[in-house]
Copies of this chain bind each other. A is one copy, B any other.
Amino acid sequence: MARDFEDHCWKDVVDPDTLQIYQAYRRKTYVGDKPAVLAIDLYNKAYLGGDRPVKEVDRQFSGSCGENAWRALPPTQKLFAASRRAGIPVIYTTRHVDTGGVHSTNRNASREADDIYDIKAELAPQADELVIYKERASAFFGTPLIAHLQQKRIDSLIICGESTSGCVRASAVDAYSHGYHVVLAEECCFDRSLLSHKVNLFDMHHKYCDVMHLDEVIAHLASQPAVKKAS
């Protein structure tokens, strides 16, 4: 719990001069009031090719996060279990296979199988959980997410999923802009590029979000009185 503000995965890529410049952002991190988990793009496509290096799976499955995705799978299952125990809603994002030409990034896309945007079975939504379909990187852009959050009286978010440098970042920045306190569960975020993963977590931690280790988030959730799920 008493870890340092900079005790995170970016330690080996951000130099001491830069850390010193960012001293002004130091503060106590915390999980906010009335949180929801926002699980970004945990669909099959991210896991294609299996638990192997990204550069290997990428040859056949462009867009897969390979071993980075698989490494985050057990921690994400733990996060979901602890959240549901504490009565905290889990909200998912994914996308439709065909969106009429509006895409979340500029990647040259080829034809895609029908189930690649289904949520990975091990992380599947429960019957009453909300799935938001988006066409852009941010979970807020072009979706009714803000209305659902307001109707459920959710006041903060715990964000996980992929990619750290893409849809997670765009969603986290938008959540901060809308006035939410945002936690990123470090071990539950992943990317195809480790450097982008680390630098984006560094950027967000200092500017917009509290990057917290999963055990810190879990300890917080376990300390909450069990509440019945919001209808």
Contacts and interface: CB of A to CB of B under 8 A. Distances in A.
Contacts of A174: 141
A44 interface: no
Contacts of A177: 136-138, 141-142, 147, 170
Contacts of A200: 199, 203
B150 A135 contact: no
Contact of A207 (B106, B151, B199): B106
B193 A18 contact: yes
A9 to B, nearest CB: 14
Given A15-B195, A27-B106, A55-B20, A137 B207 contact: yes
A130 B100 contact: yes
Contact of A21 (B20, B55, B138, B203): B55
Given A100-B148, A108-B24, A195 B153 contact: no
**Size band of the interface chain A makes with B:** 35 or more
A102 interface: yes
A179 B147 contact: yes
A54 B23 CA distance: 13
A144 B147 contact: no
A27 B144 contact: no
Tell me the number of copies of this protein: 4
Nearest to A209: B106
A2 to B, nearest CB: 20
A225 interface: no
Given A14-B195, A54-B21, A195-B15, A178 B108 contact: no
B102 A179 contact: yes
Contact of A146 (B18, B105, B137, B178): B178
Contact of A108 (B27, B143, B180, B193): B27
A47 interface: no
Given A106-B208, A141-B174, 5 more contacts: A18-B192, A22-B193, A138-B173, A199-B199, A200-B203
Interface of A: 13-15, 17-18, 20-22, 24-27, 54-55, 58, 62-63, 99-102, 105-108, 130, 135-138, 141-151, 153, 155, 165-166, 170, 173-174, 176-180, 192-196, 199-200, 202-203, 206-208
